[in-house]
């Protein structure tokens, strides 16, 4: 059987796809990147915003039209929050909600009248091939936990994903070692509330990372987004091991405590600043990136100025900036003093400009240093120009005929691209006028 996997939304959705693809491949099925030639299409949907909901509906329609013959399996947050509507959508054959995701392969095989994986013994065909690399990706997302015990007032994910549940440490270590054996050089640990890992199995993220560092040899380990609380004081000491990449994505959402209170966030600005100062004092040029919502209900001009001041003071390597949109089913959608669209947009523009300046400042600190880069993508077949990521999770471009995908190589960091988005490595004898690699990269 040929199976195509599609996802919208977060890295957790991506990690789940990789896991299912690996399970189906182990049972002798084929993974195809082309939905039009698949027998089965698995779509992991998203509902984080109203726009994501709309995109999920549109994607279901697109997949149905692209291949009306294929069996269409829909899972994920959009499907979990709207099971009946999705079930009654043209072309959808099976809906699996978030709570059942771990049994998706079994349920799909049962639905297709095949013997589910759990009932097959000794028929593991086994494959050295890795589903991730087969899909042209080089960083493996590893799901470590699901669900969240908190109730941030704007968040629908906590409703769609349910209570916290963690995978065993051994399970995660085994998956990382298998990926490494299959040629993957870098993994990122992901979940809904990564910092809450282990709360249900008497363990912790610190214990998990220590075990991974002790019992795996994969060269690069990353953390996907981590809520900036539930981290013990000694947590950042782990970054003294240079296999743990010096970057964390810590969503702050607002730089003003009164707004954070209305969001029911567990971390106030002073605590966040202490956390960031602590890790920056421990690890050279540690890269902190973040998420920020503009125009949260009730956000006054004075509160907004506080947020701008706080962001300017701390500085971030990269920011994801979201314009608040009311999400039906969340507390925030029922809060008074919803901010006008024009004001939200204006604040978003202002924050994007600030974020671009802060990113350029952060990148400039790396010029004149060298970095070991995981090369991921050749930008065009014609010339040897490649893009990859440094340990600090900064994107870097280089012209170099010796580079190969999924390899790690040390290069000098010679400049920042004029658009302030990329680091650049210049060959001593460049083939083409160096000027600005970014022009080539952005032209692709």
Binding site for ligand SF4 (CB under 6 A): 148, 150-152, 155, 157-158, 192-193, 227
Min separation Cβ 190 and ligand SF4, Å: 12
Q: Which is nearer to ligand SF4, 155 or 276 (CB)?
A: 155
Q: How deeply is 164 buried, as exposed, middle or buried, from its count of CB atoms within 10 A (0-12, 13-18, 19+)?
A: buried
Burial of 66 (0-12, 13-18, 19+ CB in 10 A): middle
Tell which residue, 365, 364, 361, 263, has the closest CA to residue 312: 361
Sequence length of the chain is 444
* Residue 401: strand pairing partners: none
Residue 10 CB, nearest approach to ligand SF4 (Å): 10
**Distance (Å, whole) CA 172 – CA 193:** 16
Q: Closest CB to ligand SF4 among 158 and 307?
A: 158
How many Å apart are CA 248 and CA 92, to the nearest integer? Answer: 38
Enter the DSSP assignment of 338.
P
Closest contact distance (angstroms) between CB of 365 and ligand SF4 is 30
Neighbour tally for 281: CB within 10 Å: 10
Nearest distance in Å: CB 150, ligand SF4? 4
C-beta of 2 vs 229, nearer to ligand SF4: 229
The residue (of 275 and 413) whose beta carbon lies closer to ligand SF4 is 275
437 Rama sector, left if φ>0, alpha if ψ -120 to 50, beta otherwise = alpha
**Which single residue is written with the structure tokens 């100025």?**
305
Q: CA end-to-end span of the chain, whole Å?
A: 34
Nearer to ligand SF4, 63 or 157 (CB): 157
Q: Pick the closer one to ligand SF4 by CB: 111 or 229.
A: 229
Residue nearer to ligand SF4 on the CB measure, 152 or 355: 152
**412-441: burial string, b at 16+ Cβ within 10 Å, e else:** ebbbbbeebbbbbbbbeeeeeeeebbbebb
Q: How far is the CB of 152 from ligand SF4 (least distance, A)?
A: 3
Exposure string of 213-228, with b = 16+ CB inside 10 Å and e = fewer, is eeebebebbbbbbbbb
Q: Which is nearer to ligand SF4, 65 or 151 (CB)?
A: 151
Q: How far is the CB of 159 from ligand SF4 (least distance, A)?
A: 9
Of 98 and 130, nearer to ligand SF4 (C-beta) is: 98
Q: Shortest approach of ligand SF4 to residue 82 CB, angstroms?
A: 19
Residue 124 CB, nearest distance to ligand SF4 (Å)?
35
* Tokens matching residue 297: 């209900």
> Smallest distance from the beta carbon of 275 to ligand SF4, in angstroms?
15
The 3-state DSSP composition of the chain as helix, strand, coil percent (nearest 5) reads: 40, 20, 40
Nearest-approach distance from CB 148 to ligand SF4, in angstroms = 3
> Quick one: 188 or 421, whose CB is closer to ligand SF4?
188
Decide: 409 and 375 in contact? Cβ < 8 Å.
yes
Yes or no: say if 12 and 38 are a contact pair by the CB < 8 Å rule.
Answer: no
């Amino acid at each position: 059987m040929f199976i195509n996997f599609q996802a919208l939304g977060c890295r957790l959705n991506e990690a789940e796809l990789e896991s299912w693809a690996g399970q189906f491949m182990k049972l002798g099925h084929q993974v195809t990147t082309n939905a039009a030639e698949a027998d089965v299409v698995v779509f992991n949907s998203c509902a984080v915003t109203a726009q994501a909901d709309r995109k999920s509906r549109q994607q279901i329609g697109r997949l149905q039209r692209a291949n009306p013959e294929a069996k269409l399996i829909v899972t994920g947050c959009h499907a979990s929050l709207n099971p009946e509507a999705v079930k009654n959508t043209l072309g959808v054959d099976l809906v699996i909600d978030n709570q059942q995701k771990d049994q998706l392969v079994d349920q799909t095989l049962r639905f297709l009248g095949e013997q589910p994986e759990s009932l097959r013994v000794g028929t593991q065909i086994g494959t050295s091939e890795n589903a991730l690399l087969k899909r042209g990706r080089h960083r493996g997302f590893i799901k470590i936990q699901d669900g969240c015990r908190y109730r941030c007032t704007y968040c629908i994910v906590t409703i769609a994903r349910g209570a916290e549940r963690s995978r065993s440490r051994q399970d995660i270590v085994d998956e990382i070692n298998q990926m490494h054996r299959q040629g993957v050089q870098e993994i990122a640990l992901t979940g809904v509330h990564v910092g809450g890992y282990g709360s249900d199995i008497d363990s912790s993220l610190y214990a998990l990372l220590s075990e991974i560092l002790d019992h795996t040899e994969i060269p690069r380990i990353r953390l996907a987004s981590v809520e900036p609380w539930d981290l013990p004081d000694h947590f950042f000491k782990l970054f003294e091991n240079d296999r743990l990449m010096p970057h964390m994505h810590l969503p702050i959402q607002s730089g003003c405590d009164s707004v954070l209170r209305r969001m029911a966030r567990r971390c106030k600005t002073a605590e966040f600043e202490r956390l960031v100062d602590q890790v920056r004092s421990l690890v050279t040029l540690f890269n902190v990136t973040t998420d920020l919502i503009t125009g949260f209900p009730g956000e006054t001009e004075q509160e907004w100025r506080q947020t701008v001041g706080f962001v300017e003071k701390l500085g971030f390597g990269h920011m994801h900036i979201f314009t608040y949109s009311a999400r039906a089913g969340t507390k925030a959608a029922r809060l008074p003093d919803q901010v006008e669209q024009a004001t939200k947009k204006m604040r978003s523009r202002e924050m994007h400009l600030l974020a671009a300046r802060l990113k350029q400042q952060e990148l400039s600190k790396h010029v004149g240093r060298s970095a070991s880069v995981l090369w991921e993508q050749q930008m065009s077949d014609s010339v040897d120009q490649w893009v990859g990521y440094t340990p600090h999770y900064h994107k870097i471009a280089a012209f170099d005929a010796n580079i190969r995908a999924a390899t790690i190589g040390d290069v000098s960091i010679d400049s920042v691209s004029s658009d302030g988005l990329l680091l650049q490595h210049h060959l001593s004898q460049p083939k083409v006028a160096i000027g600005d690699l970014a022009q080539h990269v952005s032209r692709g």
